[in-house]
Amino acid sequence: MPARHQPATPGHSPGRSLRARPGGSADAETALGLPGDTDAPGAPKEPGAPEDPGAPEDPEAAARQICLRLLTLAPRTRAQLADALQRRHIPGPAAEAVLDRFTEAGLIDDPAFARAWVESRHHGRGLSRRALSTELRRRGVADEDVQEAVEQVGPDQEAATARQLVAGRLGATRGQPPEARVRKLMGVLARKGYGAALAYRVVREALEAEGAEIAGELTEPDPDISSEGEW
C-alpha cells in the first residue's frame, strides 16, 4: 500500500530552515544565526535607523551616530550639528562632549568649512562677499572665521565676477531701452548680493562698451530683488 502523503504544515515547506515564528523563542533564532525581530521592544535598531523620541539611554553614543551620519552626507558646521543634536533630545553636556571630540579630531572644522563655502559659492554661483558672509553667519560660523574666509575674494575679484555675471545676461537685454537694461542687469547683481554702487558701475561700463548712452544718476535697485533667493 503506498505511503500516505502528509500535508505540509502551514508556514513551513520541506527543505527550508526552521525559523521561530512570532511569539516563539528568540533563542532559536539566535542559535540558527537568524536576525531577530528588529521591531520588537528592546531589539537593536538597524544601522542608520532614527532614534526613538526622548533622551536616549546612551546620549553620547547616540550623538556620535547622529554626527557621523550627517557628516557623511555633507560637511557641517558645529552650530548645525549642535542644532541637530538638540532636535534629537541629546542632553547639552553629552552633545558638547561629542562636539568637542569631533572638533579635536578635525571632523568639525568651521574655518575650513567657511573657506570651502566661499570658494564654491563665489566661483560657482557668483555670490558677492556680502552674500557669502550672510550665508556663513546663518550657518553659525563665527565672525572672525567668516571674515577670514571672505577675504579670499578681494575687491578686484568681486568686480571681475560681477562683470562676468553682467556679460552673461547682456545679450538677453539687447533691443530694450537703456534704462530698462540698466534696471534688469542691476537686478541680476542685486540678487547675488552686490551693492548698488558697484552694480551700477559695472552695468554702465558694459552698456557703454556696446555704444549705449546711459543718462541719469545712480538708482537703488528695487527692495524685492536685493537679496539672493536661496539665503
pLDDT digits (tens, 9 = 90+) for 55-78: 788 999 999 999 999 999 999 999
Per-residue pLDDT at 227:
40
Other CB atoms within a 10 A radius of the CB of residue 217 amount to 5
Domains of the chain by residue range: 59-104, 109-153, 154-226
Per-residue pLDDT at 19:
38
Average pLDDT, stretch 106-117? Answer: 97
3-class DSSP state of 69: helix
Amino acid at 85: L
Stated pTM of the model? 0.68
Amino acid at 223: P
Separation of alpha carbons 183 and 193, rounded Å: 15
Per-residue pLDDT at 231:
31
pLDDT tier for residue 143 given thresholds of 50, 70 and 90: very high
How large a percentage of the chain has pLDDT more than 90? Answer: 64
- Match 538597524 to its residue by C-alpha cell: 46
Whether residue 118 contacts residue 54, with contact meaning beta carbons closer than 8 Å, is answered with no
Per-residue pLDDT at 46:
43
Q: Could you tell me which of 114, 110, 124 has the C-alpha nearest to residue 164?
A: 124
Per-residue pLDDT at 213:
72
The packing angle between helices 143-150 and 129-138, to 10°, is 150
